[in-house]
Amino acid sequence: MSIKYLFLLSRQGKIRLAKWYDTISQKEKGKITRELSTLILSRRAKMCNVLEYKDMKIVYRRYASLFFIVGIESGDNELLALEIIHRFVEQMDKMYGNVCELDIIFGFDKAYHILDELLLDGYIQESSKKEVLRRVGQQDELENMDELDQILA
Amino acid sequence: MKGLNQFIVDIRNSKDIEEEKKRINLELNNIQSKFNSNINSYQKKKYVCKLIYIYLSGYADSVDFGLKESFQLVCSSSHSEKQLGYLALSVLINNDKSTQSTRDFLDSLLDQVHSYLIKDLQSSNEDTNCLAVQFIASNFNLPESTTVRVNEADESAPKWLELIDIVYSFVTSPIHKSVIKKKAAIALYSLLKLYPQVLISNNNWIPRLLSLADDKDYGVSIASIPLIQFVVKSKPQFVKAIIPAISLKLYNIIIENKCPEEYYYYKSPAPWLVVKLLQLIEYFFFLSDTNDYAVLSIADLDEQTLNNLRSVVAQSIQNASQPIKGLPNRNSQSSTLFQAVSLAVFLDASSDAINGAINALMMLLTSNETNTRYLALDALIKLTARSTSNNLSASPSIDEKYTKIFKLLYDRDISVRRKSLDLLYTITNASSYSMVITKLLDYFPLCDFTLKPELAIKIAVLAEKFATDSTWYVTTMLKLLSISGGVNSNGTNYIGNEVWERIVQIIVNNEDLQKKTSKLIINLLKKPFSSTDNTPIALSENLIKVAAFVLGEYGDQVTYMSELSTKLQFHLLYDAYFKVSLTTRAMLLTTFLKFFVKYPDEDFIPEIMDLFEIEELSLDLEIQTRAHEYLTLATHKYSQQLFKEVLKPMPIFVKKESHLMDRIGSVSHIVGVNRSKSLVLAKNISSNKSKAARGIDSSPILDENSDGSNPFEEESKPVVLSPNWYSGYHRMLHYDAGIFYEDQLIKITYRVIKEGCALTLKLTIINNSAKTAGTDITGLTVLNLESLTDDHDPNYVLNLKQLPESTFHDKANMEISVKIRNVVENHESPILSITFMCGGSFNTLNLKFPVLLLKTLTSTALNGLDEFNRRWAQIGELLGPQGESSQAVNLTHRYNSSNIVRLLSRLGFAVVHATSDETDNTILVMGAGILHTQKTNYGVLATLKSTDQVGKEFEVAIRCSGGGVAEVVAITMKEILEGKF
């Protein structure tokens, strides 16, 4: 019951962020992203957010110019996967303050960081928004401290 | 980092892919040369960042260096450098995975990072610990399907073990923060998947890991679910121990609304946790042990647990039936609903409850959101496919429901259309099939091109499965074929060959259909179905194929009617000849040869000959060959015998399975598809609800290791009993109430209630620490109730009637009922395992309690000593040495006659004779009683005679009316008297 992969796709078909929780060969990854990009970009706005793809289910959601795409096992709960996406977006929104595609492009480290605190190895690690943000905030602080140390040294 | 930002901007500004590539190659060279020179740690960090960015931008192949620098970063004392180092490692090490086997990859990965990981895991800084744990969780994970396992004999095993030990200590230690516990739980899961042996050899880990599900921190609970699932899968006997805690947790969240503020998602309390827990319980119902028996059935759940689960399901259904504002809210409520509905079937819910679920789902079908409609359909399919009685089709106002579903066939979204088709397929039954099929046939012309093949097959399967009237069947199928004419853009038919081939098989195998079909098919060719509105429809190739076969074989059976004459038949087929594809033409050629042989005097013979001649020049090899051979046969006027050999009638088909089933598509693996075994017109389709059909592979995880190295098949070590268990056990042997166990934290008192062959054991668990330390007992779980009797024909049956509350301040009650079925051997007494937390310490108690034959003894009133002696002699005559057993007993202190009398009456004997305490003679006490078992009752006679002068040595002689039983009783008596085992 784990998430197999998650990636962010821009409307132009560029991958903005990708996380693979399964051991998949590079070639296969390329194939999956290509196929899903064409499939999902061609879907209309009012269509259902769940796709059956191979033996999996793909849950996706569009936020402004970005598609958030999640691959889950076919027996898993689709709506919750959809809400994980939403939770992720909420958290990024809080972190960056009105998140947009450019934030993710330039601050990709932070986006990965939030994702890592939310999901670990494809399993939900923490569903509380506050807890995740607290962790990420802490890490940022640590980083600032490091920089301060460096300047002082 | 300015340099990195500039680099990203540069890449974004590149005009085309060439420029981007150039920029990246430039940067790669730059980084490489920088790495070779002397750079400070900040620069190192920056260049590694750039490398990662290049990797992410899709140039993974070009990034083949930088590992050394990443390791240097990992060793850094600064947190951000360490963090980046791990990130870079996981990206760069993963990169060259494709060239080697998973096993080699893991070993080399372990070799490279092991020492760094250990160092960071042992660090006193929690953030450093986190980084290492996170690395383990995300890099040592394998898909569940792989067979790569670490074994004890492996060279790398000690290294793995070292990691596992540390991670395990993170998971269970009370001093670590939940943040690291969460990560460690997932990391431990990854590691144990690799090295499952560890779990087997560390039996004492299991209770601690299971208790994670009930952790106060919801984050820890949710993160430990995969681990718990894995533990229970490896050791299914623990499933009963964990369900009560989970169901209580669910109950608290859903019914009591006890959920920490920050775990609310909008207005729903902890939806992720709820859904995962529901999924987990559902998974437990699918588990089976090595003998393929289901591990869990509702009979195993105690009343309280079952009620909790049922109310959770009911409440979730009710919650979702009310109008909810806000999309995230609706989504999370519905997701809980779908999960609850999916579990409902296993809980043996009343039909009311199922109907409630169906109604709630039906309501969602009209929702404005595509997702909800789609998923509600999906849930309905699961629900109907799993429940034994077809609830949906039997539920009230079914017509209305069908109307609703049919409407969804015209939904905006094709996914919804496909799902509603699947649902219709699942719910169609013997009473609704004709209505459904008619509607589906009407739908066919309007249906999407991509959906048509599936639709056709579903119609065909349904028709075959339910049809009771052969004419109806043939009409329906021919109608299906005639309206499914035309090809899609790829030039292939909408419907696969399987459909028409199946019809032909059925016609060949059923003689009474042959004539009927011939008639129908001729009429159809004359006047296609949809020609009513005068729109020309595409000629259906499939129909022509069937016609070619049927008329060729059986056309002669109907020629007595003028409107169905041979001539007409020929012209219908001949007209179609040039409009159809080459394969169909080849079939028609054969049909024409059959006509040529069957009706040599008809005036269309020259036309056939002409056709053969023309087709002899065909470019298609198959047609040319056929035409040439047939022409040769026809012109040489061979004997009738030869023709008969060439055109033998079709033999009966023997294959039982319909090929259609191979093509049924998506429903087959969700649904327990009923495969029709009978060749045609099956009236009784037995519902095949096997495990496999439920769609979950429930085989034990290590099935694939057939070389006997399967660690899960090993005998698990016997449970080690807690110290001081014996005094309670011995007390329970002869007293019916008292203290069963006591230590500083906890005291357990018991009361035994006897009723024939049934015993009820009431235990009260008292918190001793409440007085001393004022702490509560939490997380009290009955881990196991292990009976040591034979599994297949148990001598006694245990049932946990009442579970103790998991958290209490002063005391909790539990109740175990025991039914003695047969003669219980003395070594078969069960072991009760309890775990609990008290003030941060985790405790396990393994206590044996006596379930012995002697416990079911009741007194019987014999008429004095004479009767006793008569019976005594009787048993001796009847059974001889089998009926008697005697034991010499050495007591630690003196007994007099009245002590013995009290002891015997406490055990349940009626004392018939006792010497007086005053005399100095030998003490002699005799008693009689009846032993109850479910199968039969035994009479027991006991004689205790002192063999010394002081009353410390006795001889116990038992005679019993059952062969061999006396010995069992005598040994028990000896144990009671001596207090040793």
Compute the nearest-CA separation of B12 from chain A (Å): 10
- Residue B121 is predicted with a pLDDT of 92
- Tell whether the model's pLDDT for residue A36 goes beyond 90: yes
Mean pLDDT for B261-285 is 90
- Residue B491 is predicted with a pLDDT of 52
Instruction: Give residue B629's Cα distance to chain centre.
Output: 58
Q: Does B815 touch chain A (CB under 8 A)?
A: no
Q: Which residues of A touch B335 (CB under 8 A)?
A: 77-80, 83
Dihedral sign from CA coordinates of B361, B363, B366, B372: negative
Q: Do A121 and B190 touch (CB under 8 A)?
A: yes
Q: How far apart are CA B740 and CA B604, in angstroms?
A: 102
Is residue B775 within 8 Å of B839, Cβ to Cβ? yes
Q: Where are the alpha helices (DSSP H) in B690-808?
A: 725-734, 769-772
Structure tokens that stand for B115 in this block? 């020492």
Name the residue with higher pLDDT: B61 or A48.
A48
Is residue B247 within 8 Å of B281, Cβ to Cβ? yes
Mean pLDDT for B573-601 is 86
- Tell whether the model's pLDDT for residue B678 goes beyond 50: no
CA-CA-CA-CA dihedral for B474, B475, B478, B479, to nearest 10: -150
Q: Where does the pLDDT of residue B154 fall: very low under 50, low under 70, confident under 90, or very high at 90 and above?
A: confident
Q: Lowest mean pLDDT: which of A106-115, B9-18, B138-147?
A: B138-147
Q: How far apart are CA B131 and CA B137, in angstroms?
A: 10
Is residue B846 within 8 Å of B722, Cβ to Cβ? yes
Mean pLDDT for B20-38 is 90
- Residue B252 is predicted with a pLDDT of 92
- Tell whether the model's pLDDT for residue A71 goes beyond 90: yes
Q: How far apart are CA B276 and CA B283, in angstroms?
A: 10
- Residue B347 is predicted with a pLDDT of 81
Q: How many CB atoms lie within 10 A of CB B215?
A: 19
- Tell whether the model's pLDDT for residue B368 goes beyond 90: no
Is residue B584 within 8 Å of B545, Cβ to Cβ? yes
- Tell whether the model's pLDDT for residue B147 goes beyond 80: no
- Tell whether the model's pLDDT for residue B679 goes beyond 50: no
For B:215-234, CB contacts with A below 8 A are 218-219, 222-223, 225-226, 229
Quote the percentage of chain B above a pLDDT of 90.
8
As a three-state string, the secondary structure of chain A is CCEEEEEEEECCCCEEEEEECCCCCHHHHHHHHHHHHHHHHCCCCCCCCEEEECCEEEEEEEECCEEEEEEEECCCCHHHHHHHHHHHHHHHHHHHHCCCHHHHHHCHHHHHHHHHHHEECCEECCCCHHHHHHHHHHHHHHHHHHHHHHHHC
B404-424 pLDDT, tens digit per residue, is 888 888 888 888 888 888 888
Q: For residue B882, give Cα distances in angstroms to B856, B870, B961, B972.
A: 21, 18, 9, 17
- Tell whether the model's pLDDT for residue B250 goes beyond 90: yes
Q: Where does the pLDDT of residue A23 fall: very low under 50, low under 70, confident under 90, or very high at 90 and above?
A: confident
CB pairs under 8 A between A and B: 166
Strand partners for B814: B763
- Residue B492 is predicted with a pLDDT of 58
Burial class, B934, CB count within 10 angstroms (exposed 0-12 / middle 13-18 / buried 19+) = middle
Q: Do B8 and A1 touch (CB under 8 A)?
A: no
Q: Does B179 touch chain A (CB under 8 A)?
A: yes
- Residue B488 is predicted with a pLDDT of 52
Q: Where does the pLDDT of residue A86 fall: very low under 50, low under 70, confident under 90, or very high at 90 and above?
A: very high
- Show contacts of B684-687: CB within 8 Å, 24+ apart: B685/B465, B685/B466, B687/B388
* Nearest to A119, CA basis, from B737, B623, B222: B222
Structure tokens that stand for B595 in this block? 């006509």
Q: Where does the pLDDT of residue A126 fall: very low under 50, low under 70, confident under 90, or very high at 90 and above?
A: confident
Q: How far apart are CA B356 and CA B318, in angstroms?
A: 8
Mean pLDDT for A33-61 is 88
Q: Where does the pLDDT of residue B692 fall: very low under 50, low under 70, confident under 90, or very high at 90 and above?
A: very low
* Nearest to B195, CA basis, from B136, B142, B149: B149
Q: Where does the pLDDT of residue B320 fall: very low under 50, low under 70, confident under 90, or very high at 90 and above?
A: confident
State whether CATH 2.60.40.1230 applies to domain B725-851: yes
- Residue A48 is predicted with a pLDDT of 86
Q: Where are the domains of chain B?
A: 238-349, 428-656+661-670, 725-851, 854-978
Q: Which residues of B touch A102 (CB under 8 A)?
A: none
Instruction: Give the orientation angle of helix B511-526 with respect to helix B497-509, to 10 degrees.
Output: 130
- Residue B698 is predicted with a pLDDT of 35
For tokens 């330390």, the residue is B773
Mutate to test the interface with A, among B167, B371, B422, B668 (most CBs of A within 10 A): B371
B69 CB-near residues (< 8 Å, 6+ apart): B35, B44, B47, B48, B88
Q: Which residues of A touch B128 (CB under 8 A)?
A: none
Q: Do B279 and A139 touch (CB under 8 A)?
A: no
Q: How far apart are CA B218 and CA B214, in angstroms?
A: 8
**Average pLDDT over all residues of chain B:** 80
Mutate to test the interface with B, among A124, A133, A140 (most CBs of B within 10 A): A124
- Domain of residue A53: give its range: 3-152
B948 CB-near residues (< 8 Å, 6+ apart): none
* CATH number assigned to the domain covering B428-656+661-670: 1.25.10.10
For tokens 């009620």, the residue is B307
- Residue B723 is predicted with a pLDDT of 81
Q: Which of A77, A123, A125 sits opposite B339 (nearest CB)?
A: A77
Q: How far apart are CA A34 and CA B670, in angstroms?
A: 28
Q: Do B270 and A46 touch (CB under 8 A)?
A: no
B854-978 fold: TATA-Binding Protein (3.30.310)
Instruction: Give residue B276's Cα distance to chain centre.
Output: 14
Dihedral sign from CA coordinates of B48, A70, B330, A116: negative
Is residue B744 within 8 Å of B738, Cβ to Cβ? no
B432-491 pLDDT, tens digit per residue, is 888 888 888 888 888 887 788 888 888 888 888 887 887 888 888 888 888 776 655 455
User: What DSSP designation does B559 have?
Assistant: T
Strand partners for B958: B885, B942
B746-788 pLDDT, tens digit per residue, is 889 999 888 888 888 898 988 888 777 778 888 788 877 777 7
User: What DSSP designation does B300 have?
Assistant: G
Q: Where does the pLDDT of residue B268 fall: very low under 50, low under 70, confident under 90, or very high at 90 and above?
A: confident
- Tell whether the model's pLDDT for residue B701 goes beyond 50: no
Q: Does B814 touch chain A (CB under 8 A)?
A: no
Name the residue with higher pLDDT: B774 or B544.
B544
- Tell whether the model's pLDDT for residue B962 goes beyond 70: yes
What is the ipTM for the molecules in this complex? 0.84
- Tell whether the model's pLDDT for residue B714 goes beyond 90: no
Q: Do B275 and A75 touch (CB under 8 A)?
A: no
Q: How far apart are CA B62 and CA B27, in angstroms?
A: 11
B612-665 pLDDT, tens digit per residue, is 888 888 888 888 999 998 888 888 766 777 777 777 777 777 765 566 665 555
Structure tokens that stand for B249 in this block? 């947790």
Mutate to test the interface with B, among A80, A90, A138, A140 (most CBs of B within 10 A): A80
- Residue B96 is predicted with a pLDDT of 55
Q: Does B143 touch chain A (CB under 8 A)?
A: yes
B559-572: b or e for each residue (b if 16 or more CB lie within 10 Å)? beeeebbbebbbeb
Mean pLDDT for B698-702 is 35
- Residue B711 is predicted with a pLDDT of 39
Instruction: Give the orientation angle of helix B102-121 with respect to helix B157-172, to 10 degrees.
Output: 50
Tell me which H or E stretch contains B828.
Answer: none
Is residue B931 within 8 Å of B908, Cβ to Cβ? no
Q: How far apart are CA B366 and CA B343, in angstroms?
A: 23
Q: Do B222 and A86 touch (CB under 8 A)?
A: no
Compute the nearest-CA separation of B734 from chain A (Å): 52
Q: Do A127 and B223 touch (CB under 8 A)?
A: no
B482-498: b or e for each residue (b if 16 or more CB lie within 10 Å)? bbbbeeeeeeebbbbeb
The domain total for chain A is 1
Cα Rg, chain B, nearest whole Å: 40
What is the end-to-end Cα distance of chain A in Å, rounded? 48
DSSP B849-898: ----GGGGEEE---SHHHHHHHHHHHHHHHHGGGGEEEEEEE-SS---HH
Instruction: Give residue B942's Cα distance to chain centre.
Output: 54
Instruction: Give the orientation angle of helix B41-56 with respect to helix B17-36, to 10 degrees.
Output: 150
Quote the percentage of chain B above a pLDDT of 70.
87
Strand bridging mode B831-838 / B884-890: unpaired
Q: How far apart are CA B310 and CA B307, in angstroms?
A: 5
Structure tokens that stand for B870 in this block? 């008569």
Structure tokens that stand for B866 in this block? 């004479």
SS3 B227: helix
**Average pLDDT over all residues of chain A:** 87
Tell me which H or E stretch contains B47.
Answer: helix B41-56
Q: Do A77 and B279 touch (CB under 8 A)?
A: yes
Q: How far apart are CA B20 and CA B27, in angstroms?
A: 11
A130: domain CATH number is 3.30.450.60
Dihedral sign from CA coordinates of B86, B88, B91, B96: negative
Q: Which residues of B touch A109 (CB under 8 A)?
A: 49
Structure tokens that stand for B90 in this block? 């996981």
Q: How far apart are CA B241 and CA B518, in angstroms?
A: 66
Q: Which one of A78-87, B703-712, B918-927 scores highest in mean pLDDT?
A: A78-87
Ligand-binding site membership of B49 (annotated):
yes
